[in-house]
Structure 1
Amino acid sequence: MSRTQLLPARLLTLAIGTATAATLLLGTAAEATSPTPGKHGTAAARPAASPYYTPSQAKAKLRRAGIAWRASKGCEDKNRNGCTSFQGIRRTTVDGVIALRRASRCRIVITGAAEIPPHTTKGAYTHGKGYKVDIALGDCINRYIVNHSRPTSGSKRVAGTVEYLREGNHWDITYRPGGSTTPVSRAWPTLRSGSRGHAVTTAQQLLGIKADGRYGPATARAVKAFQRGHRLRADGILGPVTWQRLAPTLRSGAHGTPVKAVQTQLRRHGARIAVDGAYGNATADAVRVFQRGHRLTADGITGPATWQRLLTTG
């Protein structure tokens, strides 16, 4: 460092002028945060971002996402049984849980994170290494995970690189590296003026208007009326948020126009059933066949995942 750089700011200002001094001082401050030169004058590479969150960072992000956590013994010690610790939690794990919360809109409570006991499983992707979390069971999150993953072996389910294992009173979730942190799901179709096809026909059936498969002014008006009635943005575009309100979950015993819409879609996919608006055994069986063919839970219930597959495949 030169003698000029060692001069106090006040003397430097008097010697070479206020503007020049400010420039030098600001340059020195910037130098502290910029890459340092290497041996041969080239800038040294900045250290890579840590793959982990600190406990305070993890808790702040989870709290902002509306995710709670608890420990049976009310502690955060990584090496103590009964604690829930975020020490050594991976960024992808925290971000994955947040993505699950946003996609499912379900209440999520973390009951286990990066602590070692009682998670003594050996392997590359463990709790202690920050790849896993446990979340409490709940009707909403149970349904979402089942509908947006496929079964593999035993109680294990997968969605992309995310693994779900139902254990006792919680889901054990593994976020493996190198893949999406969000559960795999097929998007709802987005329909607007000018759209045509079977998805438009289904939307028209659900709206209770003439089902001709053409998204014209009458369909746009019906969509806007539906959106206003459900306090949605009334733009006349049938996107994911509107679909979720429009397409109800149906099961054995249901009757009416929505059932006819499902039956019409099932027939399009090869089911030999009547379009009679009655969700009886034949319809439930046809739904199960369709679900098995598309790696969904074969429960005979037409929920969001089944609606999505019906509307976007074939």
Structure 2
Amino acid sequence: MWAYLPAFLCFLWFAVSAVRERRRFSNAVLLGLSLTLAAGAWLFELHRDHQGMARVLVMLLLGLGVLGVVTLAWFLISNGVVMVRKEGASPANLLSLLAGVALVGLVVLVAGTLAADNRTLDVAAAGAVAVSAYVGFLFLCFVVYAFLYGRLRFRRKADYVVVLGSGLVGGSKVSPLLASRLEKARAVHGRLSARGGRPMLLTSGGQGPDEDLPESHAMAAYLIERGFPEALLLREDRSTTTEENLRFSRTVMEQATPGYRCVIVTNNYHVFRAALTARRVGVRGQVVGSPTASYFLPSATIREFVALLLAHRRAHLTFCLGFVVGAGAIWWLG
């Protein structure tokens, strides 16, 4: 049972951290580490007591892993083609396609390494697999914890419901993506009102260079047209990014209601990164998500993850560089 101690301690660390502040990426990593260590401890115990069964299980897991990578590559490439067909070939829409192609390249590199007797190729493949495993582990941590965070219930009381803006169609019309956020905000506002509160609904979004009016004004107009009381609406019309959405909205809320609490509404794929940003800029509120078209989710989720990596690029580049240097050291010493 001592083999499970590291997993237990890691999970305890995760639990304490999550209770203190749910909006941390370190929570996702700690949860992933605790599950990985627990699985490793279980395999260790199994190998100690039943070596033959453990070997068979490890081989089965390796086979399933290879099959999973190939299947994932096929799915990402297929989704990337759909994204380009429906949304256009912008860099953001190409992410799932590029990720699928990268996985295919990794499989080809590993297969070529196994087929050839070349030490340089072996070391290159080892470095590529190590970096891919590191990024893949972080991505799984991100997806699992974002899924869990997105299913937390919001507070029973809040002073504001904040809707984060996104681009307008044709410069003036609310897009289906943004309409999904607004409908979710109406539902959240209705539930808070049913509990005896009277929160204000704050639309947040400035005017882009290709837009005829600020996003927050188009969002407010959408709500008013559908019967939402204008007296309960506020507009924040200076922001151009998610961070500015939250920072400028915080200023509006603090000035009107010191000690406020809020619920922030965005799309489900954006919930966790919005929560991390809200924590960083000091917004007191939980983030909830609205539905997104299924074909849009893979690229959108990868985009959120890439943005998160870039926000901490020095640390992640240091780890990846360590893998590359380690592979180079093995080649040099060999």
Q: TM exceeds 0.5?
A: no
Question: With structure 1 as the length reference, what TM-score do the two structures score?
Answer: 0.28
Question: With structure 2 as the length reference, what TM-score do the two structures score?
Answer: 0.26
- Select the structure with the greater relative contact order (CA < 8 A; seq sep ≥ 6): 2
Whichever structure has more helix as a proportion of its residues is 2
